[in-house]
Amino acid sequence: MTDPDSFSVRVLARTTVATDTVAFFLERPAGFEFEAGQFVSVQLAGFDTPEDGSDDGERMLSIASAPHDPQLMIAMRMRDTPFKRHLSACAVGSEGASVLLSPAMGDFVLPADPTRPLVMLAGGIGITPFFSMLRHLQHEAAAGRPTPPVTLLYGNRTPDLAAWGDELARLCAELPSLRVVHVIAEQGEASLPETALGSATRPGLITADVIQQEVPDWQACHYYIVGPTAMVAAMQDCLDACGVSPEQVAIEFFAGY
């Protein structure tokens, strides 16, 4: 990364937020501003590039923290790649490893109209920009500002792969305009936390029928889709089947992570 406006920041901490999913907390540089849903380029300092050039030590990652948070948070599914091995083993805290951070990028952000109902369709680690958005909406609501009705349909293969399960349950309790539906392909033995209101779990996959059953006034909503390429394509097909206009849909691809 050669951006002259990049920041050198330390890795402050890391924590597991789901099976094989880790969140990393980074210093937030003075003057670093972003909108909920945006992403950054993260480049590892001191990274040993493999001889075959298969990994350059840089990733584009959504910011999972909210704009009002004092630290920056990113999260990723951990796989056996040089980038992720380096980050999972690096020093953290006051002497934490350094990474280069770009300014925030992207237009996958909340609409200006705070009244239009929103539907967030996430698969796996695609929850990260939505976690930022939802925490921002919680902050707005606590300040007395209007927030839209939001339905989050969050698909995972098993319950233990759903990131921030406890936090999403608390958000439902604190943000009455939010409803979270966990859609689990294979139930297994694990379970997800549920609140009395605003949270539900159903088996299977996110389909056009599921959208129409779980989303009030689904034809009038603005849709956001995040996930692997195949999942995004499947969600587009679902919305096409529902008769949702492409102008009502915003998309963010997570490929190769």
Give the residue from 66, 101, 136 where a domain finishes.
101
pLDDT of residue 1: 45
> β-pairing, 222-227 with 249-253?
parallel
Question: 133 and 94 in one domain?
Answer: no
195 within 8 A of 179, measured Cβ to Cβ: no
Predicted pLDDT at 196? 44
pLDDT of residue 48: 74
- Return the structure tokens found at 204: 């299977």
pTM (2 decimals)? 0.92
Number of structural domains the chain divides into: 2
The answer to whether residues 139 and 197 belong to one domain is yes
For residues 231 and 140, membership in a common domain is answered with yes
Query: In terms of Cα–Cα distance, which of 54, 53, 59, 52 is closest to 84?
Result: 59
Q: What is the dihedral of CA 23, 24, 28, 33, to 10 degrees?
A: -40
Cα 86 to Cα 10, 101, 104: the distances in Å are 14, 16, 23
* Structural domain contains residue 2: no
The pLDDT value given to residue 85? 86
**Three-state secondary structure readout of 101-136:** ECCCECCCCCCCCCCCCEEEEEEHHHHHHHHHHHHH
- Give me 104's structure tokens: 């925030």
User: Phi, psi (5° rounding) for residue 136?
Assistant: -65, -45
Residues 93 and 163 both lie in one domain? no
Task: Output the DSSP codes for 12-27.
Answer: EEEEEEETTEEEEEE-
Q: Mind listing the pLDDT tens digit of every residue in the chain (257 residues)?
A: 456 688 999 999 999 999 999 999 999 999 999 999 999 999 988 777 776 766 777 889 999 999 999 999 999 998 888 888 888 888 999 898 999 999 999 999 999 998 899 999 999 999 999 999 999 999 999 999 999 999 999 999 999 999 999 999 999 999 989 999 999 998 765 566 655 467 889 999 999 999 999 998 999 999 999 988 888 999 999 999 999 999 999 998 876 54
Q: Is residue 113 part of a domain?
A: no
Name every residue whose Cβ is closer than 8 Å to that of residue 163 and which is 6 or more positions away in sequence. 17, 18, 21, 23, 75, 125, 127, 128, 131
Same domain, 19 and 74: yes
**159 neighbors 192 (Cβ within 8 angstroms):** yes
> Of 69, 101, 133, which closes a domain?
101
Question: Does 75 share its domain with 186?
Answer: no
Q: Are residues 77 and 189 in the same domain?
A: no
pLDDT at 189: 55
Show the domain range for 83.
7-101
What pLDDT score does 160 carry? 92
Grouping H, G, I as helix, E, B as strand and the rest as coil, residue 202 is strand
For residue 108, is it within any domain? no
pLDDT of residue 188: 62
Domain match, 160 and 215 both: yes
Strand order in the sheet with 39-44: 58-62, 39-44, 98-101, 7-18, 21-26, 72-77
Among 36, 69, 101, residue at a domain's last position: 101
Strands of the sheet containing 118-123, edge to edge, are: 199-203, 178-184, 150-156, 118-123, 222-227, 249-253
Residue 111, domain member (yes or no): no
Element (H, E) at 242: helix 229-242
Q: Assess if residue 11 is contained within a domain.
A: yes
**Are residues 197 and 155 part of one domain?**
yes
